[in-house]
Amino acid sequence: MSWGALLTLCAVSYALKAAGPVLAGGRQLGPRARQALDLVAVPLLAALILVQTLGDGHRLTIDARLPALAVAAVLVWRRAPFLVVVLAAAATAATLRAIS
């Protein structure tokens, strides 16, 4: 991965964080704009979950990642710690691939 892309991401990320404290000086967004900004992460995360579970290049496939996601979902619902959730997902996928 190129350092250029990485440093661009650093700059954009900082600029977004700093817009309020450095530039706005107490000015506020309207409630509707704030609500939309607040909501942005939700459909993006949902899209990432599904694309990274089912996507395989330009194809959609069902493989060991789907049962792994199901295990993760149960653990998230049971309020398991983050690291437990991701490790259980990895272990599920690795086990299914090893035995198939």
Partner 1 sequence: MATTTLSRAAGIGIAVGLYGISFGVLAVAAGVSAAQACVMSMLVFTGASQFAFVGVLAGGGGALAAMGPAVMLALRNAAYGLSLAPILRGRLGDRALAAHFVIDESTAMARAEVDPRAARRAFLATGISVWLCWNAGTLAGALLGAGFGDPRALGLDAMFPAAFLALLAPQLRRPAAPAAAVAGAIVAVALVPVAPAGVPVIAGLAGVVPGVLVARGARA
Restricted to residues 27-66, the positions that interact with partner 1 (CB under 8 A) are 27-29, 32, 34-55, 57-60, 64-65
**How many residues contact partner 1, by CB under 8 A?**
78
Structure-derived torsion over alpha carbons of residues 65, 67, 73, 78, reported in degrees to the nearest 10: -130
Q: Does 22 bind partner 1 (CB under 8 A)?
A: yes
Contact 29, 37 (CB under 8 A): yes
- Paired tokens of 8: 């661009």
Find the shortest distance in angstroms from Cβ 85 to partner 1.
5
As measured in angstroms, the least distance from the Cβ of 31 to partner 1 is 11
Q: Judged by CB under 8 A, does residue 13 bind partner 1?
A: yes
Separation of alpha carbons 96 and 100, rounded Å:
6
